[in-house]
Amino acid sequence: MSKIIFGLLFLSSTLFSLEWGKDINAAFAQAKKEHKSVMVLVEGENCRWCKKLKYRTLQEESVEKRLEKFVLVKIMREDPSSMSHVPSIRGVPTVFFMKADKTVLEQVIGYHNVRDFTSYINDAEKKSK
């Protein structure tokens, strides 16, 4: 019985797992080609709030479904090359919803639960139209 439950949990986690890029230049190029917006997650190496955002909010099925409309990329604040493509930040996690031309649609600072993060997605989608 426990093997069945484990199998179902593993299958559901792989079904709703988003693909995150690590090359910000490639993400903007892909967004331009596919006529999508980009979601940039800026995280820190030892940031516990970043981990909470990734595992509690961004892996929630309803959020993952909404983020399928975006090109997703994760960058580290310790990487100056990647950070040169986004505005300066005050802390991590910081999320930028951006157009393919690097115009910022919405900036989200800190950890947010599913409900609050969904409202930021809504705002970014409205601004991208």
Longest Cα–Cα distance in the chain: 51
**Beta-carbon neighbour count of residue 100 at 10 Å?**
19
- Please list, in sequence order, all residues whose beta carbon lies within 8 angstroms of the beta carbon of residue 14, skipping any fewer than 6 positions away: none
Q: What is the pLDDT of residue 32?
A: 97
In a domain, 5, yes or no: no
Can you give the residue range of the structural domain that contains 84? Answer: 19-128
**Number of domains the chain contains:** 1
Question: Contact 68/16 with Cβ under 8 angstroms?
Answer: no
In a domain, 111, yes or no: yes
In a domain, 14, yes or no: no
Q: What is the pLDDT of residue 12?
A: 47
Indicate which CATH number applies to the domain containing 97: 3.40.30.10
In a domain, 12, yes or no: no
Model pTM above 0.75:
yes
> Tens place of pLDDT for every residue, the chain, 129 residues?
555 554 444 444 444 578 999 999 999 999 999 999 999 999 999 999 999 999 999 999 999 999 999 999 999 999 999 999 999 999 999 999 999 999 999 999 999 999 999 999 999 999 998
